Amino acid sequence: MSATRTFRALTVARASTCALGALAALLASSAAQAQAQPAYPDRPVKVIVALPAGGSADMIARTVSTRMAAELGQPFVVDNKAGASGQIGTPLVARAAPDGYTLMVSPASFLTTNKSIFKTLPYDPQADFVPITRLVNQPMVLVVKDGKRFPDVAAVLAAARAAPGQLTYASSGDGSPQHLAALMFGTRTRADLLHVPYKGGAPAVNDTLAGTVDMMFAVLPEALPHIQAGKLQALALMSPERSPVLPQVPTMAESGVQQVELSAWVGLFAPAKTPQPVIDRLQRAAHAALAGDTVARLQASGMEPAPGTGQQLKDSIASEIKLHAELVKAAGLVPQ
């Protein structure tokens, strides 16, 4: 072998040795860093609900948080930050560190309808959050306190047409599922109803129970105990089929009102840029929380467990933003 060839061979060998050494050093450094970083989670996790305690979103947040805490070995603490149709609590999650220690359980409306109801929002529903999973679907139900005055949907429509803008309905706030349900009902039936917004589902139900308002298009889990106790009368469900917990209550279609179907889902979210391994771990824990005996408990309360992928939830938000914008426009509402 010539001197030139020998020199080239030695050069290649040295380069290969250096490259292997650098790779080994990099792998060792990565392993050391992985060992130095604590496993997630290593401290309590805050779960923000931008609604008062006692509503359906709060109910599912507390149920799932308890199960996820057991699954992951750290407390999951629900923190209610109610008010302004989600615009107090929701931005707190958008601005939180993307480390998995601040999460959000949110109704659909804060991430879908709010974009059409308000001129500006202190958060971007699609850019500021990572969808982890849908938790539950919840049927909407039209309920009244005065069952003698309003024995069925036909009686509500007759009263609304006799006195346009006089019949009142409660909701948990502008852009809420209850508000959207009433807009859908009013648009499809040409009934002019008066909206009375509250700061959450629980106070809205309380005033419906008191007779302060005439009716409410309620999320089923919030109204179900009062229906079963005979304190509220359920007139119709805004779902394609009757509910197994209220088999005697007809659907809107069965009551003569077509194309009035709405389900109020609740989902789990993290701040944008939360690491994917953390998102994956949370998703697995949430899905485990929605299995086993939790299923029967949720179904008995009027909720339907609906675990899925983050991408599925992301796609739902995008499609519902468009659908709800069309509904708000059809109802003639001007963004606030």
Residue 241 three-state SS: coil
Where in the chain are the domains?
45-137+265-330, 140-237
Residue 268 has pLDDT above 60, yes or no: yes
What was the pLDDT predicted at 8?
52
- The dihedrals phi and psi of 57, each to the nearest 5 degrees, come to -65, -40
Residue 165 has pLDDT above 70, yes or no: yes
Residue 191 has pLDDT above 90, yes or no: yes
What was the pLDDT predicted at 327?
81
What is the fold of 45-137+265-330?
D-Maltodextrin-Binding Protein; domain 2 (3.40.190)
More confident residue, 172 or 151: 151
Write down how long the chain is. Answer: 336
**204-239 pLDDT tens trace:** 999 999 999 999 999 999 899 999 999 999 999 999
What was the pLDDT predicted at 33?
45
Taking residues 127-149, what's their average pLDDT? 97
Distance CA 105, CA 269 (A): 6
Question: Is residue 205 within 8 Å of residue 171, measured between CB atoms?
Answer: no
Confidence of residue 334 (pLDDT cuts 50, 70, 90): confident
Confidence of residue 25 (pLDDT cuts 50, 70, 90): low
Taking residues 128-156, what's their average pLDDT? 97
Question: Is residue 251 within 8 Å of residue 240, measured between CB atoms?
Answer: yes
What was the pLDDT predicted at 32?
45
Confidence of residue 5 (pLDDT cuts 50, 70, 90): low
Residue 30 has pLDDT above 50, yes or no: no
Superfamily of domain 140-237: Periplasmic binding protein-like II (3.40.190.10)
- Looking at the DSSP bridge assignments, the partners of residue 168 are 194
Residue 52 has pLDDT above 70, yes or no: yes
The answer, as to whether pTM is greater than 0.85, is no
> Among 86-95, 176-185, 321-330, which range has the highest average pLDDT?
86-95
Distance CA 249, CA 144 (A): 13
Confidence of residue 176 (pLDDT cuts 50, 70, 90): confident
Taking residues 167-175, what's their average pLDDT? 90
- The dihedrals phi and psi of 163, each to the nearest 5 degrees, come to -140, 75
Confidence of residue 34 (pLDDT cuts 50, 70, 90): very low
More confident residue, 107 or 10: 107
Q: Which is nearest to 115 in space by CA: 131, 126, 129, 130?
A: 126
Taking residues 59-79, what's their average pLDDT? 97
Q: Which two tokens stand for residue 108?
A: 């659909």
CB atoms within 10 A of CB 66: 15
Taking residues 167-187, what's their average pLDDT? 90
Residue 133 has pLDDT above 70, yes or no: yes
Residue 13 has pLDDT above 80, yes or no: no
What was the pLDDT predicted at 238?
96
What was the pLDDT predicted at 31?
46
More confident residue, 19 or 251: 251
What was the pLDDT predicted at 16?
52
Output the DSSP codes for 272-283.
TT--HHHHHHHH
Question: Is residue 264 within 8 Å of residue 218, measured between CB atoms?
Answer: no
> Among 24-38, 47-61, 243-257, which range has the highest average pLDDT?
243-257
